[in-house]
Chain A
């Protein structure tokens, strides 16, 4: 069975600074990887996804993520954080042939002025 680990429960970043949120997955085959963002009291918004091909994927709101098979990682990055990026971020993995996702426990991003 697949699993996802997000090592950081909370991260605080200054506005304008760069951001990297970590995600490690466990899955025996090629994974399908996702990052979602959730603002307080809101639903899930898909930031980006990796299915195959280029290991650096671009998403919405200026986010990108890099798939590194050797490290079983799919870290999310943004070069300059805005106060509106404060939210909870979830990494998720989907397995071939299945219709469901396994989520990490989330990382709460706080943005300081």
Chain B
């Protein structure tokens, strides 16, 4: 199992550009999430999904879009990048069922918006 994979590892964008951060998992997890990490702020939830075709907003969703067409993939789209979106982005996944399940994190994508 590759676990949770994220691409790219690093990305530099100019203000106004668009891009998609990729996240994939091969553990057949129903739940997937996107977090951003900023210095002094910890990790904050952007969007999450409880299954294919179902997504919802987290704490900081503005400027980001998501969709979940398959169980394996959960891409995060920046339609018009802004310097405030400079951050490290982590994708996570977990099983559905029971009361709570441990989340598995990807290695992260470091994004710089100039």
Query: In angstroms, how far is the closest chain A Cβ from the Cβ of B72?
Result: 16
Which residues of the other chain, B, contact A99 by a CB distance below 8 angstroms?
A: 30-31, 33, 48, 50, 94, 96, 101, 103
B-facing residues in A19-71 (Cβ within 8 Å) = 32, 34, 43-44, 46, 49, 51
Which residue of the partner chain A has the closest CB to B93?
A99
Query: In angstroms, how far is the closest chain B Cβ from the Cβ of A10?
Result: 11
Query: In angstroms, how far is the closest chain B Cβ from the Cβ of A9?
Result: 7
A74 within 8 A of B: no
Q: How far is the CA of A9 from the CA of B105 in the complex (A)?
A: 23
Which residues of the other chain, B, contact A94 by a CB distance below 8 angstroms?
A: 100, 103
Tell me which of A43, A46, A97, A104 contacts B102 (CB under 8 A): A46
Which residues of the other chain, B, contact A51 by a CB distance below 8 angstroms?
A: 99-100
Which residues of the other chain, A, contact B41 by a CB distance below 8 angstroms?
A: 105
Given A96-B100, A97-B99, do A103 and B44 touch, yes or no (CB 8 Å)?
yes
Which residues of the other chain, B, contact A34 by a CB distance below 8 angstroms?
A: 102
Which residue of the partner chain B has the closest CB to A6?
B42
B101 and A103 contacting across the interface, CB-CB below 8 Å: no
Which residues of the other chain, A, contact B42 by a CB distance below 8 angstroms?
A: 4, 90, 103-106
Q: How far is the CA of A96 from the CA of B31 in the complex (A)?
A: 14
Q: How far is the CA of A61 from the CA of B88 in the complex (A)?
A: 25
A87 within 8 A of B: no
A100 and B58 contacting across the interface, CB-CB below 8 Å: yes
Which residues of the other chain, B, contact A100 by a CB distance below 8 angstroms?
A: 31, 33, 45, 48, 58, 103
A103 and B43 contacting across the interface, CB-CB below 8 Å: yes
Sample (30) of A-B pairs whose CB atoms are under 8 Å apart: A32-B100, A34-B102, A43-B90, A43-B105, A43-B108, A44-B43, A44-B105, A49-B102, A51-B100, A90-B43, A92-B43, A94-B100, A95-B100, A97-B99, A97-B100, A98-B100, A99-B31, A99-B33, A99-B94, A99-B96, A99-B101, A100-B45, A100-B58, A100-B103, A101-B43, A101-B92, A102-B45, A103-B44, A105-B41, A106-B40
